[in-house]
Chains A and B, each alone.
Chain A
Amino acid sequence: MADTENTPGNSMHGVSAKEKAFAFSVASPIMPTDPIAKFKLPVDSEHKAKVFKIFSLASPHMTTFHLSWLSFFTCFVSTFAAAPLVPIIRDNLNLIKTDIGNAGIASVSGSIFSRLVMGAVCDLLGPRYGCAFLIMLSAPTVFSMVFVSSARGYIAARFMIGFSLATFVSCQYWMSTMFNGKIIGLVNGTAAGWGNMGGGITQLLMPFIYELIRRAGATPFTAWRIAFFAPGCLHVIMGILVLTLGQDLPDGNLNTLQKKGDVPKDKFPKVLWYAITNYRTWIFVLLYGMSLGIELTIDNVIAEYFFDRFNLKLHTAGVIAATFGMANIFARPLGGLMSDMAARPFGMRGRLWNLYIVQTLGGIFCICLGRASTLPLSILSMILFSITTQAACGATFGIIPFISRRSLGVISGLTGAGGNFGSGLTQLLFFTSSRHSTATGISLMGIMIVCCTFPVALVHFPQWGSMFLPATKDSEKSKEEYYYGAEWNEEEKQRGLHHGSLKFAENSRSERGKRVGSDPTPISATPAPV
């Protein structure tokens, strides 16, 4: 076994088409374990963990995983904390429908910008400080709900709290410093899914806390304000935990390692250029707006919808609304898993079809939700809607790592921002004006999802094909190396900066599906160790 690994042209990865791209662990000898490193989990040469043990707290890898997803979860809880309490808040602040709609839009708009900035912050200060700074500086914005006494104040507070959703970027960035690239998909999908779950838990948590405070004797218009101390304190607690228990990289903190020269830097303008000139980036910005964006919109409107349409009690509406967000615990990782399962026989084409089918089904169930007039049918539609839409989110990030190797960070950031933009747009179009009811708004949104998912068919990879077209027959362009190498110019190639991309290209051959065995692997120089 030992003499076949690392010999040029003899990589067996992908040949049998049985190798998982999404896996719980990476087996040696595909990625050799570093025998000298003293970590509780097996690590690779960069000291990134090769195994993902969900219920372990092993420092630093699993500790980081739990700190990371919990911080992101906390920010989701506080961003959507107002949503289940809107029936009380709208009476206290004398809001009209437009105010409620605008506040919902504001809550997701702030992070369009902050998600873009967070990538740079993680580069400069490290993900640990990026996360801690954001979560502790946004704690005052959560506490500021106590002061709110008008529609404008309410909208401003929700806008500022929404900035904290940029912890998505620090979460994913931090995971990629701690976990090996071959399992990063599952790790990131789980972290993102469990974080997104906060949007569901808050629909249960806030009415519950509100009810407790009311029973203790507070009037309704005071009780909802006191309830906001809960997410605020969570911010402070998580921030302190991140600062005391977290570290940027397996070997230590960022500023120490940068001085040693271990962490190389790429040029940001170049990285940005290759991200924005790739048309696939923009299609995925739209698509993610129609999966994550819709999820955020529903987090904002669904509790009020059930409260008003079916005359339910506040906490009953909260329980039903919560099941929407909580489906994330398995639905988002499931979407990624289905993407991988489709990739095994069909490669990237399978991933694209999986995304198209799942997201379109999400749109159809959304239409059903809007049209359902009985409570049981409404709940059933909502559950099916939540599973398919969240699976679409997971499936999206099963494809994104392959769009670009050099600009993955920026593309992830842009896609994430696109998700928030989609949420703001759908809330503006369907849930802010009094011209139509919320139920009609939901149905119209479902139609928009179905229509805006068609562009998946336009995503074409020359080396793998697209939904309706096979891979190109051109001998040069059909190589993964050509596609990923195109992101570097000749000068950079001569300096050897593109070796990471070449290695990635070789590993990505699994995206050919069952065709892999028939194409000869090219003879290339031994890739420099990543």
Chain B
Amino acid sequence: MAARGLLLASIYLSLLMHECYGVTLFSSLQKTLQVTTTTKRGQVLKAGEDKVTITWGLNQSLAAGTDSAYKTVKVQLCFAPVSQKDRAWRKTEDHLNKDKTCSFKIVEKPYNKSLQTLDWIIESDVPTATYFVRAYALNAERHEVAYGQSTNDQKTTNLFDIQAITGRHASLDIASVCFSVFSIVALFGFFFHEKRKARMSQQK
């Protein structure tokens, strides 16, 4: 009886602890990764066409064993503060579950001790904004335990701009004009046709 109670209590407690671990705060993460990008200041990259070369890896000057818990690395495209202004849907929050700073996943790979590089072609659904790149190191439970980013802590250096695609196509424009013209012509066609019919029946 007591054993069962103890078992239940320990399960409950471990669930609670799991809950606590589930709420990861950004401020609790260690900045152990190094991330660099090949972008230049003032350069405007086009979504869907241009590429960014991203390099990430563990900061070599740290003690060995720092990365013992790292299992996967998630590299993300993040909004710079200037692109978050007046846009509450991109707000930075300390709770990583609620944080909207990094909305676009670039790549997720198993953790490797050596430096990793990726030539990333910017996807077509990336909006026009100013960005930096951040990499999160995840442990076996897929919780963030460390990070690194291509900019400084104030997010002011080494930012780059991306220009989104317009989403417009010539074929869509033409179809839109055709449908609109049809609507107007059909309306006035009916109107004048009925007027003519009424006039003809009056003349009879």
CA distance in complex: A482, B47 (Å): 73
Q: Is the CB of B168 within 8 A of A149?
A: yes
B3 CB-CB contact with A under 8 Å: no
The one of A92, A221, A233 in contact with B179, judged by C-beta atoms closer than 8 angstroms, is A233
Task: Tell me if B184 and A137 are in contact (CB < 8 A).
Answer: yes
Contact A143 B191 (CB under 8 A): no
Specify which of B97, B167, B180 lies most central, judged by the most chain A CB atoms within 10 Å of its CB.
B167
Q: Is A222 an interface residue (CB 8 A)?
A: yes
Q: Please give, as numbers and ranges, the residues of chain B lying within 8 Å of A96 by CB-CB distance.
A: 85-87
Interface string of B154-174 (1 = CB under 8 A from A): 000000000011111100110
Does B110 lie at the interface of the complex (its beta carbon under 8 Å from any beta carbon of A)? no
**Cross-chain contact of A94 among B129, B175, B179, B186 (Cβ < 8 A):** B129
Contact of A143 among B85, B128, B179, B186 (CB under 8 A): B179
Q: Return chain B residues, CB-CB under 8 Å to A255.
A: 198
Any chain B CB within 8 A of the CB of A28? no
CA distance A224 to B166 in the complex (A): 12
Q: Whole-angstrom distance between the alpha carbons of A225 and B48 in the complex? A: 18
Q: Mark A141-165, 1 if CB is under 8 A from B, else 0.
A: 0011011010000000000000000
Taking a contact as CB atoms under 8 Å apart, the answer to whether A225 and B88 are in contact is no
Find out whether the CB atom of A92 lies under 8 angstroms from the CB atom of B127: yes
Q: Contacts A143-B176, A147-B176, A221-B167 given: A97-B87 contact, CB under 8 Å?
A: yes
A272 in the interface (beta carbon within 8 A): no
Once the chains bind, are B164 and A94 in contact (CB under 8 Å)?
Answer: yes
B81 to A: closest C-beta gap in Å: 14
- Residues in B with CB closer than 8 Å to A235 are 183
Q: Which residues of B contact A90 (CB under 8 A)?
A: 87, 89
Total interface residues on B, using CB and 8 Å?
A: 34
Contact between chains at A139 and B179 (CB < 8 Å)? yes
Q: In the bound complex, do residue B172 and residue A221 qualify as a contact, i.e. CB atoms below 8 Å apart?
A: no
Interface string of A385-425 (1 = CB under 8 A from B): 00000000000000000000000000000000000000000
Contact with B along A188-225 (1 / 0, CB 8 A): 00000000000000000000000000000001111011
Question: Given the interface contacts A136-B184, A221-B124, does A243 sit within 8 Å of B190 by beta carbon?
Answer: yes
Contact with B along A122-144 (1 / 0, CB 8 A): 00000001001100110110011
B182 in the interface (beta carbon within 8 A): yes
| Interchain nearest-CB distance for B41 vs A (Å) | 21
A436 to chain B, nearest CB (A): 10
**A10 at interface by CB-CB < 8 Å:** no
Minimum-distance CB pairs A-B, first 10: A221-B167, A140-B180, A91-B127, A96-B86, A139-B183, A136-B187, A143-B176, A146-B176, A219-B124, A220-B125
24 pairs across A/B with beta carbons < 8 Å? A90-B87, A91-B125, A91-B127, A92-B167, A94-B164, A133-B187, A137-B187, A144-B180, A221-B124, A221-B165, A222-B167, A222-B168, A225-B172, A226-B172, A233-B179, A236-B182, A236-B183, A239-B183, A240-B190, A243-B190, A256-B198, A308-B88, A308-B89, A311-B98
